[in-house]
Amino acid sequence: MDIILDDENQRIYGEETITYHNNSTDNLEYLWLQLDQNKRAANSKTPDIQGSGASPLYSLQNFSDNFITPFDGGFKIEYVKNIDNNDISYVINQTMMRINLERPLGSGETYSFKIKWWYNINNHVEQGGRSGFEHFPDDGNNSYVIAQFFPRLCVYNNVEGWQNNQFWGRSEFALEFGDYEVSITTPNDHILGATGILKNEKEVLTKTQQKRLTEARKSFDNPLIIVTQAEATKTEQSKSKKTKIWKFFAENVRDYAFATSRKFIWDAMAVDINGRTVMAYSYYTKEANPLYGDHSTRAVAQTLKTYSRVTFDYPYHKAISVDGQMGMEYPQICFNPGRPNPDGTYSERTKYRMLGTTIHEVGHNFFPMIVNSDERQWTWMDEGLNSFVQLIANRDYDANFPLRRGIPKNIVPYMKGDQSKLSPIMAAGDDLYEFGNNAYAKPATALWILRHTIMGPELFDYAFKTYAQRWKFKHPTPADFFRTMEDASAMDLDWFWRGWFYTTGANDIGIKEVKKYYVTDKPTKQAEKLAARYGMKVDQLSPSLYLISEDSDEFSEELKNKKPEDYKLLSDYIDSNFSSEEKTNLEVPKYFYELVFEKLGELVMPIIVEFEYEDGTKERKQYPAQIWRKNDIEVTKVFPSSKAITKITIDPDEETADVNTSNNSWPKTTETTFSKFKKSQIKG
């Protein structure tokens, strides 16, 4: 690809040669290409499918785009030619272009063709978008973050053939792996970061920059500055009329993106990934400093380390974070938000937002850039998995990192919300209600619960790593994820996927009733009844003990003072069945609690029960979700104990996203008027 950036007019020109390898077993009559920028074409249907009211305020740019003349940022295709320079026929349907092949491309065959194009770059701060330029009125310069900027192949796979769903702007991308040879022409005073290995460092970087870069390649503890703020500030005071060409080669990447400006400060640091050096880079304007200088490259480095530990060693040679006023990810490069106050100070909130996004976007290098799921169809497969691993990296970077998205109790308000405004996770991104909760927070929470509550870290971590390794550089579908998690752990999780991913149900498990039983050696009426069902009397059965409930009319207070081993029947049994050594450690329960659990929510979940005893000690018992398989509404369990229970709490750590905790304890906690009054005082 030969790319020319026209900074004066904010335009981009490209000429590309694509060589397509038909690795499928099918013959292809045509090829589909994605023209993502047509979402910004003057005749784009994207604005037409969104309901909109009258806004009280429009920026001049937005007023003009909406009411005077729509911005035209669509592709201008100058030609599509075969390798012999003959025109090829093609059809454009909005953001998709069909190349009509002269003859079908057979399985295993290769086809090369050329496309020439240009488009007007949008101001992404004013007009929105995942790509574009930001204008800095103070110095008159632009900063470019350029992505989905060239016609690129759609995915053809053995699951659904061509993935050519339109790009409406929200659901992201389905992309093939490929090798890229790219030349980018920029003004001579620009600094540029891009996907791929820079092939002509000596031609585009100064001697000083090259020397600093060589030093940075050995700096594993701290980032070193390649272009200082003072140098960048000086550069932005004039505009070079000359140009230079940056040459890159990227191998086996899913996409290509770059960022460039004469305003860029640049720092770099080496990261050791299991003995291999990977570079972490940040490019940022002075407006983003010192926030970016303090944290950006360090966050990139931490993300590569954490994700490599959790999934597989990061296979590329570098990862870049660019100060771009938005969060968006591409192979080896991502754009991030967050700027300090004009005086250079920044709040904890600003810092954690910038760090959270940076770690998230760098993390996308693993999902979906390498574990190459279809973002257009299944947003959760990259956003959900990535949001989950991000939580681990956040805490690796800063032990006090505030975690929000992905923590079970934080998803409760969403899950108990209006059912008509919820979609299952297994829905296409463009059609989702509450995109953020549905595609990011809920799947991340589901994985958090799987790891912490259902599978346990040992089984989960191994299975998750297996999924990542098994599907790297491939196109996994949801079933591939579900299957691998079960395959590598020997856990049947079908119930979990069904509830959490295919429905909008919520979890609400409560404790409905608790009955206390004691042991007696005198047959109860209940026992006689049971024997009668088999046409017998209890004395015809083998010797037995009987449980008698505290509220039974046969119950007498003296039973409370008896221990089971006081009954000769049991003490004889113990004597003849246990060795004296075994007997010293023997603990015979005195109390038998019959617990009735009710399930008011649609989700099936384990029941986590905490018992508090009269001596103040506590004990936990977790009943697997399978407890619900024969009765989806109510289950009963008997719990033996040598100490009296004073309190029972379900899900004491709020780890199951139970949407109603008012039924989670026994005895029922009734709020007194006074405690309600106290609470209202605190709130006020």
Q: Which residues bind Zn ion (CB under 5 A)?
A: 383
The least distance separating Zn ion from the CB of residue 128, rounded to whole angstroms, comes to: 17
Q: For residues 383 and 655, which CB has a smaller minimum distance to Zn ion in the complex? A: 383
269-272's contacts with Cβ under 8 Å and 24+ in sequence apart are: 269/216, 269/219, 269/220, 269/222, 269/223, 269/224, 269/297, 269/298, 269/300, 269/301, 270/216, 270/217, 270/218, 270/219, 270/220, 271/220, 271/300, 271/301, 271/304, 271/305, 272/220
Question: Residue 150, CB half-sphere, CA atoms under 13 Å: how many?
Answer: 25
Strands (E), 521-633: 546-549, 591-599, 607-613, 618-623
Which residue has tokens 């047959």? 523
Q: For residues 286 and 376, which CB has a smaller minimum distance to Zn ion in the complex? A: 376
Q: For residues 7 and 383, which CB has a smaller minimum distance to Zn ion in the complex? A: 383
The least distance separating Zn ion from the CB of residue 252, rounded to whole angstroms, comes to: 21
What is the rounded distance in angstroms from the CA atom of residue 11 to the CA atom of residue 303? 34
Q: Give 670's contacts (C-beta < 8 A, 6+ positions apart).
A: none
Q: Does the N-terminal peptide bond of residue 589 adopt cis geometry, omega within 30 degrees of 0?
A: no
Q: For residues 187 and 327, which CB has a smaller minimum distance to Zn ion in the complex? A: 327
Reference 172, options 355, 439, 554; nearest CA is 439
What is the rounded distance in angstroms from the CA atom of residue 99 to the CA atom of residue 18? 12
The least distance separating Zn ion from the CB of residue 14, rounded to whole angstroms, comes to: 26
Q: For residues 32 and 440, which CB has a smaller minimum distance to Zn ion in the complex? A: 440
Reference 296, options 341, 358, 343, 349; nearest CA is 358
The least distance separating Zn ion from the CB of residue 162, rounded to whole angstroms, comes to: 25
3-state secondary structure 266-312: EEEEEEEECCEEEEEEEEECHHHCCHHHHHHHHHHHHHHHHHHHHCC
The least distance separating Zn ion from the CB of residue 365, rounded to whole angstroms, comes to: 11
Question: Residue 54, CB half-sphere, CA atoms under 13 Å: how many?
Answer: 1
The least distance separating Zn ion from the CB of residue 387, rounded to whole angstroms, comes to: 7
Chain centroid to Cα 674, Å, comes to 43
265-273 vs 318-323, strand pairing mode: unpaired
Q: For residues 384 and 523, which CB has a smaller minimum distance to Zn ion in the complex? A: 384
- H/E element holding 226? strand 224-227
Q: For residues 368 and 564, which CB has a smaller minimum distance to Zn ion in the complex? A: 368
The least distance separating Zn ion from the CB of residue 367, rounded to whole angstroms, comes to: 9
**Cβ 269 vs Cβ 297: under 8 Å:** yes
Q: For residues 330 and 597, which CB has a smaller minimum distance to Zn ion in the complex? A: 330
What is the rounded distance in angstroms from the CA atom of residue 364 to the CA atom of residue 380? 12
**Cβ 496 vs Cβ 450: under 8 Å:** yes
Q: Give 576's contacts (C-beta < 8 A, 6+ positions apart).
A: none
Q: For residues 374 and 383, which CB has a smaller minimum distance to Zn ion in the complex? A: 383
Which residue has tokens 């579900």? 482
Q: For residues 385 and 411, which CB has a smaller minimum distance to Zn ion in the complex? A: 385
The least distance separating Zn ion from the CB of residue 126, rounded to whole angstroms, comes to: 23
Residue 289 tokens read as 């400093």
The least distance separating Zn ion from the CB of residue 399, rounded to whole angstroms, comes to: 24
What is the rounded distance in angstroms from the CA atom of residue 519 to the CA atom of residue 559? 8
**Cβ 30 vs Cβ 164: under 8 Å:** no
3-state helix, strand and coil shares in percent for the chain, rounded to the nearest 5: 30, 30, 40
Give the dihedral sign, CA 488/490/496/497: positive
Q: Could you tell me where the DSSP H helices lie in 86-176?
A: 124-127
How distant, in Å, are the alpha carbons of 46, 47, 48, 54 from that of 51? 11, 8, 8, 10
The least distance separating Zn ion from the CB of residue 340, rounded to whole angstroms, comes to: 24
The least distance separating Zn ion from the CB of residue 584, rounded to whole angstroms, comes to: 59
What is the rounded distance in angstroms from the CA atom of residue 206 to the CA atom of residue 69? 44
**Cβ 23 vs Cβ 109: under 8 Å:** no
Q: For residues 325 and 453, which CB has a smaller minimum distance to Zn ion in the complex? A: 325
Q: For residues 168 and 264, which CB has a smaller minimum distance to Zn ion in the complex? A: 168
* Residue with nearest beta carbon to Zn ion: 383
The least distance separating Zn ion from the CB of residue 291, rounded to whole angstroms, comes to: 20
**Cβ 119 vs Cβ 309: under 8 Å:** no
Q: Which residues of 46-80 are buried (b: 16+ CB within 10 A; e: fewer)?
A: beeeeeeeeeeeeeeeeeebeeeeebebbbebeeb
The least distance separating Zn ion from the CB of residue 414, rounded to whole angstroms, comes to: 18
Q: For residues 90 and 173, which CB has a smaller minimum distance to Zn ion in the complex? A: 173
Q: For residues 134 and 383, which CB has a smaller minimum distance to Zn ion in the complex? A: 383
Question: Residue 88, CB half-sphere, CA atoms under 13 Å: how many?
Answer: 25
Reference 494, options 532, 445, 454; nearest CA is 454
The least distance separating Zn ion from the CB of residue 461, rounded to whole angstroms, comes to: 22
The least distance separating Zn ion from the CB of residue 364, rounded to whole angstroms, comes to: 6
The least distance separating Zn ion from the CB of residue 661, rounded to whole angstroms, comes to: 31
Q: For residues 329 and 508, which CB has a smaller minimum distance to Zn ion in the complex? A: 329
* DSSP conformation class of 671: P
The least distance separating Zn ion from the CB of residue 303, rounded to whole angstroms, comes to: 13
